[in-house]
Structures are given as C-alpha cells and as structure tokens.
Structure 1
C-alpha cells in the first residue's frame, strides 16, 4: 500500500466522481462529484484537490468493454490519465472499472437513496468502488 492518500476518479463525459482513501490506506470514501467544464478547468480543479488532500497516487477507472477490449471512451480516459500524470507529477494507474456503476447503484439501492437525485452522487460512489477494489488488490 502506498503511504499517503490515494485518489480515485470515475471519469465520465459530464462528471468526474472523486474518492479518497484515508491517510493509512484502509478505507475508500466518496469525496465529491466534479461537473465537467473544460479539460483545463477539470485539471485545475483536480490539481487543487490533490494538493489539499495530500494525494500521493491516483487511480483512474478504465472503462473497458465487457469483453476487455478498449472502448473509444477508454482511449479518451487513458489520454486524460496521461495528462493528469504529467501535470500532477504523481503516479497514475488505470484500473478496470467494469461493473463499478452497477456496484454503485446496488450500494445506493441498499441505502434507500432516491433514484431522482442519483446523478449527484453516483459517480463519487463509483469512484469509491474503484478505489476499494484497487485497495483490495494491493
């Protein structure tokens, strides 16, 4: 496990879900949903969060097809991850996120969360699922 906080991102076309580990790397917690504006604005917002939370590693959900093939969106997310690594100077790891949204919806169902306002939290819950899965594997 990496010392320091790990940030996980669920990068979508309209929103980016952000989750953080605790400082010891035991738990994954949803942090916020970043509504996308432009690539530059998104990067600046993420870099501020990275500094504020003393992040030492970033895990980005890799939206592969169910077959494992790289989807067109996965190619864009991979470019995003490369740019974030270059701009942050931190290690960025892509992590298979297949079924993370399904798991996030199950978590929200189990907690009785209203379907009408899920768009405000679903991405950060998905980011927490990505981070949890990454942490369990490491």
Structure 2
C-alpha cells in the first residue's frame, strides 16, 4: 500500500511517496502551483501512477497547538483531495518540518539555489516518514 505525503504551500506542493510496504518515504517532486484544476490533475496523475491508497497532508499548527488560517487552508485542500481522488486523506502535524528540511540540506552543504528547489519535497518526505513511523 503506497501513501502520498504532501507539504501544501502558497506557491508549491512538496510531494513524497512511500515504498510499497509503507516503511520509508522518498521525496518525489515539487509541484509549482498554477490553479486548483491543474494542481489536482497532477496529483491525480501521481496517485494513479503510484497506486496511492492514502494521502497524508501536513497540518501547520501553531507552536501552541492551535489551528490558524494556514492550517485551515490545508484542511480545505485535504477535503478537496478527498472529493476528487476518493482516497482517505489524513492530516499530520508538520510543525518544524520545513526547518528540519532546511537544516538537513544545510548540513549536506547544498547550495542556496538548490535548497530552494527541493526543500518542499524534503519537508513532504519528513511529514510522510513521521506518519509512517507512528503506525
């Protein structure tokens, strides 16, 4: 059973996918957002290509655990995914995943330009890996 992990942002959507056993997460791509229809079409293509049976969307809670405007946008996005892709969509606390992704890339001595291109994909893989580890 493969699971898709998403880091939903204003300009991009970081995408990660699990292995078939659901043990490890690998960054897949960064979708440059255009409009809802185009974004959903690409996610549908990926879900079909990888045989996705579940999706995990990062939920950016505030540091005190409350739900703010950004988290509400992610919850609306998750509901749209449920309606369009007809698979279970789970929300997963993503606090500090982008910070962790940035730190990992810095430690690997990745250039600033390259970091900007892949940070959302890495954050999506952290979200998905944390979810997989919890199961």
- TM-score, structure 1 normalization: 0.95
Q: Partners of 2:85 and 2:45 in 1: how far apart?
A: 10
Aligned to 2:29: 32
Q: Which runs of 5+ in 2 are unaligned?
A: none
Alignment RMSD (CA, Å):
0.8
Aligned mate of 1:108, from 105, 110, 134:
105
Aligned to 2:63: 66
2:23–2:133 contact (8 Å) kept in structure 1: no
SS in 2 for 1:94: strand
Q: Partners of 2:106 and 2:35 in 1: how far apart?
A: 32
Aligned length: 135
Aligned mate of 1:6, from 3, 8, 27:
3
Aligned mate of 1:86, from 62, 80, 83:
83
Runs (4+) off by over 4 Å: none
Q: Partners of 1:49 and 1:116 in 2: how far apart?
A: 26
1:9-60 deviation line (CA, Å, top 9, x unaligned): 0000000000000111111100000000001111111001000011110000
Aligned mate of 2:129, from 126, 129, 132:
132
Q: Partners of 1:119 and 1:82 in 2: how far apart?
A: 28
Greater displacement, 113-122 / 53-62: 113-122
